[in-house]
């Protein structure tokens, strides 16, 4: 039998409609992807909506501005901080921790965060300072404190080594290299930083 041209074609199954947390997760993931591919300046709410396969209105209902969206995307992107490494020696613990920080900085959320740091203006950077601190700086400082305290207990580190200046060295140097030099720390550079900067800072005073 010949089908009439007026006869309706079989309906294509509609994709399930996402709501709530599922849709929000898709939008946040799309925002991270936009930051990694087109950067902060190239990110648009329209592009994020297209990446999440949703309407622009769905994005704006949840995040009135791209700053709001990017802030939440960055916060959601970073994994919870693990425990500090414990390899039996403070130098090896520091090296393992620095490698972990490097991995976070060059992960997908880290790449997105660096895009924001490199491209946004001072006012926008000030707004996102809390994300930078909570996602990268604070966890690094907390784990450094654990590593150094353990070193003190083993007698490898001088008793008064846990202070703000010492704890700032690793995140400050790694963030500076990332932002100002836009280069990744190699294993050799991490070892050199630890051996030439951190170990002398932490070493107990001689007799």
Co-location of 30 and 125 in the same domain: no
What pLDDT does 180 receive?
66
Q: In this structure, what CATH number is given to the domain that contains residue 24?
A: 1.10.10.60
Determine the pLDDT at residue 176: 80
> Whole-prediction pTM value?
0.77
Assigned domain for 117 exists: yes
The pLDDT, as a whole number, for residue 78 is: 85
Of the three residues 77, 98, 117, the one that is the final residue of a domain is 77
Domain total of the chain: 2
Residues 69, 95 share a domain = no
In whole angstroms, how far apart are CA 123 and each of 116, 119, 144?
Answer: 12, 12, 30
Q: Give the per-residue pLDDT at 207.
A: 55
**Spatial separation of the C-alpha atoms in residues 149 and 143, rounded to whole Å:** 10
Residues 94, 68 share a domain = no
Backbone angles phi, psi at 102, to 5 degrees: -60, -40
Q: Is residue 128 part of a domain?
A: yes
Report the pLDDT value the prediction gives residue 131, as an integer from 0 to 100.
82
Indicate whether 12 belongs to any domain.
no
- Provide the pLDDT for residue 36: 92
Give the chain's largest Cα–Cα span. 103
Structure tokens of 174? 């790694």
Is residue 33 in a domain?
Answer: yes
Q: How many CB atoms lie within 10 A of CB 175?
A: 18
Alpha helical stretches, state H, 63-186: 66-77, 90-105, 108-119, 122-127, 129-132, 138-154, 164-180
Does 94 share its domain with 172?
Answer: yes
Q: Which residue numbers in the chain have pLDDT < 70?
A: 1-18, 179-183, 206-207
Residue 128: which domain range? Answer: 90-202
CA end-to-end distance (rounded Å), the chain: 103
């Amino acid at each position: 039998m010949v089908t009439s041209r007026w006869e309706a074609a079989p309906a294509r199954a509609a994709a399930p409609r996402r709501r709530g947390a599922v849709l929000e997760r898709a939008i946040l993931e799309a925002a991270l992807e936009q930051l990694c591919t087109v950067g902060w300046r190239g990110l648009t709410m329209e592009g994020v909506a297209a990446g999440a396969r949703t309407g622009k209105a769905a994005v704006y209902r949840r995040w009135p501005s791209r700053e709001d969206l990017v802030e939440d995307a960055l916060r959601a992107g970073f994994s919870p901080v693990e425990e500090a490494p414990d390899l039996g020696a403070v130098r090896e613990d520091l090296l393992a921790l620095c490698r972990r920080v490097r991995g976070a900085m060059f992960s997908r959320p880290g790449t997105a965060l660096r895009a924001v740091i490199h491209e946004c203006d001072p006012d926008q950077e000030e707004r996102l300072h809390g994300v930078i601190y909570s996602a990268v700086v604070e966890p690094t400082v907390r784990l450094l404190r654990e590593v150094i305290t353990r070193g003190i207990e083993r007698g490898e580190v001088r008793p008064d080594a846990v202070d703000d200046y010492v704890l700032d060295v690793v995140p400050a140097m790694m963030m500076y290299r990332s932002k100002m030099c836009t280069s990744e720390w190699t294993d050799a550079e991490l070892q050199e930083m630890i051996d030439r900067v951190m170990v002398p800072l932490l070493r107990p005073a001689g007799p």
